[in-house]
Structure 1
Amino acid sequence: MTTKIILDTDPGIDDAMAILFAEASPEIELVGLTTVYGNADIDISTRNALYLKQRFGFKCDVAQGASKPLKRQPVGASIAVHGENGFGDVKIKAPTISADPRPAHQYIIETVKASPGEITLVAVGPLTNLALALEQAPEITKLVKEVVIMGGAFGTHEHTGNVTPFAEANVYDDPHAADTVFTADWPVTVIGLDVTHEAFFSTDYIDTLRDTCGDVGEFVWDISRFYLDFYKSRMGVNGCFVHDSSAIAYVIDPSLFEVRGGPIRVVCDGPAEGMTLQKHNDTKHKADEWADWPAQNVAVKVNDQALLDLYLDTITSYSS
Structure 2
Amino acid sequence: MALLPLIIDCDPGVDDAIALLLALAAPELDILGIVTVGGNVPLSVTSANARRICELAQCVDVPVFEGCPRPILRQLVTAEEVHGVTGLIGVDLPPPTIVAQPEHGVAWMIRTLLDASEPVVVATLGPMTNLAMAIVQAPQIIHKIQRVVIMGGAITHGNITPSAEFNFYCDPHAAQIIFTAGLSLTLISLDVTHTAIATPERLQALRLIGQPIGPVVADLLGAYGAYDQQRHGFAGAPLHDPCVIAYLLMPELFQTRDYYVEIETISPPSLGRTIVDWWQTTGRPANAKVAISIDAEGFYQFLTKRLQRFNHGLN
TM-score (norm 2): 0.93
Q: Report the alpha carbon displacement of residue 116 of structure 1 after superposing the two structures with TM.
A: 4.1
Deviations 1:76-100 (A, max 9, x none): x211111110010532222122111
Partner of 1:275: 273
Give the match's secondary structure for 2:133: helix
Q: Is the 8 A contact 1:153 1:166 kept in 2?
A: yes
Q: Is the 8 A contact 2:221 2:237 kept in 1?
A: no
Q: Is the 8 A contact 1:83 1:226 kept in 2?
A: no
Q: Report the alpha carbon displacement of residue 185 of structure 1 after superposing the two structures with TM.
A: 1.2
Partner of 2:224: 227
Partner of 2:142: 141
CA distance in 1, matches of 2:265, 2:256: 25
Q: Is the 8 A contact 2:222 2:236 kept in 1?
A: no
Q: Is the 8 A contact 2:5 2:30 kept in 1?
A: yes
Q: Is the 8 A contact 1:200 1:241 kept in 2?
A: yes
Q: Is the 8 A contact 1:24 1:315 kept in 2?
A: yes
Q: Is the 8 A contact 1:23 1:29 kept in 2?
A: no
Q: Is 1:60 matched up with 2:62?
A: yes
Partner of 2:21: 20
CA distance in 1, matches of 2:308, 2:169: 35
Q: Report the alpha carbon displacement of residue 223 of structure 1 after superposing the two structures with TM.
A: 2.4
Q: Is the 8 A contact 1:88 1:225 kept in 2?
A: no
Partner of 2:109: 108
Give the match's secondary structure for 1:145: strand
CA distance in 2, matches of 1:95, 1:233: 32
Q: Report the alpha carbon displacement of residue 306 of structure 1 after superposing the two structures with TM.
A: 1.6
CA distance in 2, matches of 1:191, 1:28: 20
Comparing 106-115 with 43-52, which one deviates more in the overlay? 106-115
Q: Is 1:189 matched up with 2:186?
A: yes
Comparing 243-252 with 107-116, which one deviates more in the overlay? 107-116
Partner of 2:301: 309
- Match for residue 207 of structure 1 among 204, 209, 212: 204
CA distance in 2, matches of 1:282, 1:226: 41
1:250-261 equivalent positions in 2, closer than 5 A: 250-261=247-258
Q: Report the alpha carbon displacement of residue 53 of structure 1 after superposing the two structures with TM.
A: 1.7
Q: Report the alpha carbon displacement of residue 101 of structure 1 after superposing the two structures with TM.
A: 1.2
Q: Is 1:263 matched up with 2:249?
A: no
Give the match's secondary structure for 1:171: helix
Change (3 A) 1:140 1:94: same
CA distance in 2, matches of 1:294, 1:27: 29
CA distance in 2, matches of 1:284, 1:209: 44
Q: Report the alpha carbon displacement of residue 117 of structure 1 after superposing the two structures with TM.
A: 3.2
Q: Report the alpha carbon displacement of residue 319 of structure 1 after superposing the two structures with TM.
A: 2.4
Q: Report the alpha carbon displacement of residue 221 of structure 1 after superposing the two structures with TM.
A: 1.8
CA distance in 1, matches of 2:306, 2:90: 26
Partner of 2:215: 218
Q: Is 1:153 matched up with 2:151?
A: no
Q: Report the alpha carbon displacement of residue 235 of structure 1 after superposing the two structures with TM.
A: 2.5
Q: Report the alpha carbon displacement of residue 266 of structure 1 after superposing the two structures with TM.
A: 0.6
Q: Is the 8 A contact 1:3 1:118 kept in 2?
A: no
CA distance in 1, matches of 2:195, 2:239: 8
Give the match's secondary structure for 1:212: coil
Q: Is the 8 A contact 1:69 1:173 kept in 2?
A: yes
Give the match's secondary structure for 2:19: helix
Q: Is the 8 A contact 2:90 2:222 kept in 1?
A: no
Q: Is the 8 A contact 1:184 1:294 kept in 2?
A: no
CA distance in 2, matches of 1:102, 1:22: 23
Partner of 2:129: 128
CA distance in 2, matches of 1:153, 1:233: 20
Q: Report the alpha carbon displacement of residue 284 of structure 1 after superposing the two structures with TM.
A: 5.7
One-letter identity of the residue aligned with 2:176: D
CA distance in 1, matches of 2:239, 2:92: 24
CA RMSD, 1 decimal: 1.7
Deviations 1:219-242 (A, max 9, x none): 112223320222232233331112
Paired residues in the alignment total 309
Comparing 210-219 with 64-73, which one deviates more in the overlay? 210-219
Q: Is the 8 A contact 2:259 2:278 kept in 1?
A: yes
Q: Is the 8 A contact 1:185 1:294 kept in 2?
A: no
Identity %: 34
CA distance in 2, matches of 1:42, 1:146: 25
Deviations 1:58-87 (A, max 9, x none): 121100011111012322x21111111001
Q: Is 1:298 matched up with 2:300?
A: no
Give the match's secondary structure for 1:166: coil
CA distance in 1, matches of 2:257, 2:9: 24
CA distance in 1, matches of 2:256, 2:124: 18
Partner of 1:288: none
Q: Report the alpha carbon displacement of residue 281 of structure 1 after superposing the two structures with TM.
A: 4.5
